[in-house]
Structure 1
Amino acid sequence: MSETRTPTQVRRTALAPDVRRLDERAARAWTERMAVRPLGGGRYAVDSASGATYVVDLPAGTCTCPDHQLRGERCKHLRRVGIEITTRRVPAPGKRAAVCDACGVDTFVPEREGPPDLCGACRLEPGDVARDREADDRLVVARVTPARASEVLIEGVGETVADYATNEGYPADDLVVEAVYLGDLARRESPRRYSFPLSRLERVDDAEIVDRNLRERVTG
């Protein structure tokens, strides 16, 4: 039986500072009850303890509260959004919260990226070089599909990716990765794409061996 990958994700949480050493706005940003909700595009709604809701535009460095609008101060709401991002409670601009479609952990993914949603441990990008755990071959990733191994039929074989003999032991609900063998990529103008369970492939640091033009033939 093949060894499967069990991704883990480590999140670092910033420790709260000694608020006695902070200025008033910074201390209030750390201690007051506020709820931060991402709105997309680098904008965040901040619900304050008073019941008011203000909108922080982080890329612009603005907030709709009177402290910022009238006094031009870096208000507690702007600071609180920065704290929430640093402690990974909300996504940074350009990211959105998601559940990894491969391992099920909570993660942040590019805001405009479509499914599947993958955490850093499971992610394979088009153009990545991957190692086949079974044959130790090198492949170039074309794409990670949203389909599961039990759903994708292998052309000319009549079996699903999950049922194929060399994929025994890999989860039937693995996402399917389309990839091209590195040798085929160098020899053929139109190399065939093969389908693999995601956990059968391991990203490797061999990117320098793949010419950019060859990589574009796979991902284009």
Structure 2
Amino acid sequence: MTHPEHTPASLPATRSKTTRPPADTTGRARRARTDPMAVRPLRDGRYAVETDGGTYVVDLDARSCTCPDAQIRDARCKHRRRVALDVTDGLVPPPGQRTAVCAVCGGRTFVPTGDDAPALCARHAIDPGTLVSDRETGDRLVVVAATGDRADSVATDEGRLVADYPSNADYGRHEPVFRAVYLDALRRGGDVTHYAFPASRLRPVTDRDAGPSPTDGIDAAGPTTA
């Protein structure tokens, strides 16, 4: 009689089984690449791995798999190895994260499982302290914080929503808001006002960017306190 722990899980697959080049590997490492498998992340942070022989559940954090090779031989089976490969290559989210859609470009990204804020991919996420340029005015600012809230839900001290400013008409109302301060204001010292911007209005300044930044005619999404 087969022990329940060694029985393939009854889980439907949502991806087609694929293979990988062997990459000069042998044994289980080779089978992890060359055997047809489909990896599907589960809501609890584990992964269902469908093979031609059945579907098994891998837990990377616990270093376990429900297949006989892992359960009986305590081996690092081909299923665990395939999941690790897919996580490393960004094909499936790592444990504790889920797949999401970037609020700016619609590209695929990964976010913490319990995070309900608008998601941003690596291209559009901006870390606090980053020097950025306002696409509308060319002014230089320093990002203070990512609010995690949408432009159509964040109000400035003027009582207007960030999304309702005419200067933000070309940016998505659904985009997350960043708070930033003008670089010239920081240089002058004293009290510094924080301004709110839709994510895609701010462009990180690269080493190739040069020249002074204008600061006249400011029309950011209004002043707002941090």
TM-score by length of 1: 0.67
Instruction: Give the Cα–Cα distance (whole angstroms) in 2 for the partners of residues 172 and 166 of structure 1.
Output: 12
Match of 2:129 in 1: 127
* Range with greater deviation from structure 2 (89-98 or 193-202): 89-98
CA RMSD of aligned residues (A): 3.5
Q: Give the counterpart letter for 1:202 in structure 2.
A: R
For residue 163 of structure 2, give the secondary structure of its aligned residue in structure 1: coil
Aligned mates of 1:71, 1:168 — CA distance in 2: 61
Are residues 105 and 72 of structure 1, via their aligned partners in 2, closer, same or farther at CA, if it must alter by over 3 Å? same
Quickly say closer, same or farther: Cα 1:28–1:194, change in 2 above 3 A.
same
Question: Does 1:16 find its partner at 2:16?
Answer: no
Letter in 2 for 1:28: R
- Match of residue 109, structure 1, among 95, 108, 111: 111
Structure label with greater radius of gyration: 2
Q: Secondary structure at the match of 1:120?
A: coil
Count of residues paired in the alignment? 191
Greater share of residues in helix:
1
Aligned 8 A contact 1:54 1:63 in 2:
yes
* Correspondence for 2:48: 45
Q: 2:8 maps to which residue?
A: none
Offset at 1:80? 1.4
Counterpart code for 2:91:
R
Q: What is the TM-score of this pair, normalised by structure 2?
A: 0.65
Match of 1:143 among 134, 142, 145: 145
Correspondence 1:166 to 2:167: yes
Superimposed CA distance per residue, residues 19-74 of structure 1 (whole angstroms, 9 cap, x where no aligned partner): 8x6534344323444442334787433344444523232x5544343313432433
**Superposition pairs for residues 181-196 of structure 1, below 5 Å?**
181-188=182-189, 190-196=191-197
Percent identity, aligned pairs only, is 46
Tell me the amino acid that sits aligned with residue 48 of structure 2.
A
Shift of 1:90: 0.8
Q: Which amino acid aligns with 1:181?
A: Y
Using the TM superposition, give the Cα deviation of residue 119 of structure 1 relative to its aligned residue in structure 2, in angstroms. Answer: 0.4
Identify unmatched segments of 5+ residues in structure 2.
1-18, 208-225
